[in-house]
């Protein structure tokens, strides 16, 4: 399916999306992208629907054609302090603030947005499957975060982060059982199911 290039053609729209909300470990990462209104690439889709090699092949093209792009994080400590939803908003706000061009309007993936930024915005449910700039942001954020977790996995090889990127897979939880948690784990999350915590599984 070809994604929409914009909501309104006569303004600068920045699409933003985050990656990593459901992970047990690592930061939440967001990206913001301003695409030219005439840009069209049917290969740009929701990052979750693309294979790893497809996402990676699109990163340099997105960065090259975009009028502006930025990637930002909210740390594990921030997630634990202000909760994952607010940390996601924070990462998106940071990415938008880092854009080299000031947008007229924001296209936010999801159903709500909280920010001190002075820009008008539209929340778009499943926006990464509808609007090209949001999809492009999801691709940049996903590739950046996956590569980050691969690097962290070299220091903490017990959890399979090079494969699961911090999501709650069996290998990840088995690693927590056998080696405990580490500084990259979100302490505000339930790292193990109640049964595992009690040693019943």
Evaluate whether residue 141 is within a structural domain.
yes
Q: Is residue 109 part of a domain?
A: yes
pTM of the model: 0.94
Per-residue three-class SS string for 79-133: HHHHCHHHHHHHHHHHHHHCCCCCCCEEEEECCCCCCCCCCEEEEECCHHHCEHH
Q: What is the pLDDT at residue 152? A: 98
Residue 64 lies in a domain: yes
Three-class HEC string of 2-32: CCECCCCCCCCEEEEEEECCCCCECCEEEEE
Q: Which domain holds residue 85?
A: 13-155
Q: What average pLDDT does range 60-65 have in this prediction? A: 97
CATH code of the domain containing 29: 3.30.420.10
Count the domains in the chain: 1
Residue 126 lies in a domain: yes
- Model pLDDT for residues 149-179, shown as the tens digit of each residue: 999 999 999 999 999 999 999 999 999 999 9
- Report helix, strand or coil for 48: helix
Instruction: Judge whether 8 lies within some domain.
Output: no
């Amino acid at each position: 399916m070809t994604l929409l290039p914009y909501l309104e053609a006569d303004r600068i729209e920045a699409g933003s999306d985050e990656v990593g909300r459901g992970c047990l470990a690592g930061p939440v990462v967001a990206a913001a992208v301003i695409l030219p209104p005439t840009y069209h690439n049917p290969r740009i889709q929701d990052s979750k629907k693309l294979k790893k090699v497809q996402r990676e092949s699109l990163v340099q093209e997105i960065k090259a054609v975009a009028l502006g792009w930025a990637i930002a994080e909210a740390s594990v400590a921030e997630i634990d302090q202000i909760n994952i939803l607010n940390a996601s908003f924070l990462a998106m706000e940071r990415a938008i603030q880092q854009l080299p061009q000031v947008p007229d309007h924001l296209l936010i993936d999801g159903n709500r947005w909280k920010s001190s930024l002075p820009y008008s915005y539209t929340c778009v449910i499943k926006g990464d499957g509808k609007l090209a700039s949001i999809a492009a942001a999801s691709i940049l954020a996903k590739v950046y975060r996956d590569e980050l977790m691969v690097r962290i996995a070299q220091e903490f090889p017990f959890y399979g982060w090079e494969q699961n990127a911090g999501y709650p897979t069996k290998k990840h939880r088995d690693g927590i059982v056998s080696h405990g948690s580490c500084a990259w784990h979100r302490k505000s999350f339930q790292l193990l199911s109640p049964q595992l915590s009690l040693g019943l599984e």
